[in-house]
Chain A
Amino acid sequence: GNSVTQMEGPVTLSEEAFLTINCTYTATGYPSLFWYVQYPGEGLQLLLKATKADDKGSNKGFEATYRKETTSFHLEKGSVQVSDSAVYFCALINNAGNMLTFGGGTRLMVKP
Chain B
Amino acid sequence: GAGVSQSPSNKVTEKGKDVELRCDPISGHTALYWYRQSLGQGLEFLIYFQGNSAPDKSGLPSDRFSAERTGGSVSTLTIQRTQQEDSAVYLCASSLTPQGGEQYFGPGTRLTVT
> Bound state CA distance, A51 and B101, in angstroms?
9
The interface size of chain A toward B, counting residues with CB under 8 Å, comes to 22
**Closest B-chain residue to A102, C-beta based?**
B43
A34 to B91, CA, bound (A): 17
Of residues 78 through 105 on chain A, the ones whose CB sits less than 8 Å from some CB of chain B are: 89, 93, 96-105
A42-B107, A43-B107, A46-B104 known; A97 and B98 CB under 8 Å?
Answer: yes
Contact of B98 among A44, A45, A98, A102 (CB under 8 A): A98
Which of B31, B98, B100, B103 has the most A CB atoms < 10 Å from its CB? B103
- From residue 28 to 45 of chain A, which have CB atoms closer than 8 A to chain B? 32, 34, 36, 42-45
Q: Using A99-B56, A100-B35 as known contacts, say yes or no to A43 and B91 having CB atoms under 8 A apart.
A: yes
Interface residues of A (CB under 8 A from B): 32, 34, 36, 42-46, 49, 51, 89, 93, 96-105
